[in-house]
Structure 1
Amino acid sequence: MQERLEQIKKQLQSQQLKLTPQREATLQILLENQEKHLSAEDIFMLVKQRNPDIGLATVYRTLELLHDLRIIEKLSFGDGVSRYEFRSDDHPHHHHHLICLKCGEVSEIEDLLDDLEMRVEREHKFKIVDHRVNLLGYCESCQQEMKLKNM
């Protein structure tokens, strides 16, 4: 985690930007919660626990800066809330999302489209630079709950 923070600090410095305490606090929360897809408000609430003086606008600005620098990805799951996750250095689309329509749980699955991308590029002479796949449905827990209600 510290190594990733140092890498981001160097990336900021290369753009003549500083890793301010507010930016570092926001990054720490993102690093500690990498398996989650936190919204700006979620991040703000977690940062505020450690740094009570930080404002929501500061968190939003930090997230936008990190997004603009391609450090984090801004995700939309169709519910009107943007969520954030770190970009992969080696592959811009390294996984897809399973989104439960009932409870809102978001799970990740590995990228399954590499072969399809190569075929599309070859057959259509189209250079693909990114893609996003969100699969909507019901998680196992919600399926069980819905079965119980239908009995």
Structure 2
Amino acid sequence: MSQQILKKVLRDKKQRMTAQRELILKVFIESKGQLMSLDDVYMYIRRRKNHKTSKMTVKRSIDLLEEIGIIKKIDFEDGPPRYELVEEFADEAKVLLICENCGKAIKMDLDIEKLKSILPYENMEIKDFDLKIYGLCTECK
């Protein structure tokens, strides 16, 4: 999703594009699908030079981006919620590998057709899925 699409969506919702919103969108684009918490986004921005955005501004921007459908919240109920860009692809779904110790989440894409070939459900048409796999990451083993 590009900044141009965000600008159009914000304009349609009668919101304006601010430097902070644009920066937060850029953080999610650069994350390449990685799930990020509010703190992750805030710390990423703080590490950049000349960016002194408050944590509350980051939270309000994330809330707005979630409300208008640019990002979505994923809550594992094991700590803070994480966020990701909304994907535009209907033929790919998510598999999340979640570390039970540190909470790190790694996202993988799995083709629905491949899933259909390994599941024994002949009487069900699979349209979409989300799969969470819990375990320990290499750092926590």
TM-score, normalised via structure 2 length:
0.76
Deviation at 1:81, TM superposition (A): 0.8
More helix by share: 1
Q: CA deviation at 1:35?
A: 3.5
Offset at residue 140 of structure 1 (A): 4.8
Counterpart of 1:78 in 2: which secondary structure?
A: coil
Kindly report the root-mean-square deviation, in angstroms, between the aligned alpha carbons of the 2 structures: 2.8
Q: CA deviation at 1:98?
A: 0.8
Identity of aligned residues (%): 28
The answer (yes or no) to whether the contact 1:93–1:132 under 8 Å persists in 2 is no
Aligned residues: 134
1:18-33 residue pairs with structure 2 within 5 A?
Answer: 18-33=16-31
Q: 1:92 to 1:6 in 2, by over 3 A?
A: farther
Which structure has greater strand proportion? 2
Residues 31, 112 of structure 1: CA spacing in aligned structure 2 closer, same or farther, 3 A cutoff? closer
Residue 17 of structure 2: SS of its match in structure 1? coil
List alignment gaps of at least 5 residues for structure 1. Answer: 123-127, 146-151
User: Which residue of structure 1 lines up, in the alignment, with residue 8 of structure 2?
Assistant: 10
Following the alignment from structure 2 to structure 1, what is the Cα–Cα distance between the partners of residues 123 and 3? Answer: 37
CA distance in 1, matches of 2:82, 2:95: 14
Q: Which residue of 2 aligns with 1:62?
A: 61
Normalising by structure 1, we get a TM-score of: 0.72
* 8 Å CA contact 2:27, 2:44 repeated in 1: yes
How far did residue 93 of structure 1 move? 6.8
What is the deviation of 1:59? 0.8
**Superposed CA offset, 1:13-61 (max 9, x none):** 1212111111112112122223421110111122234421x21111111
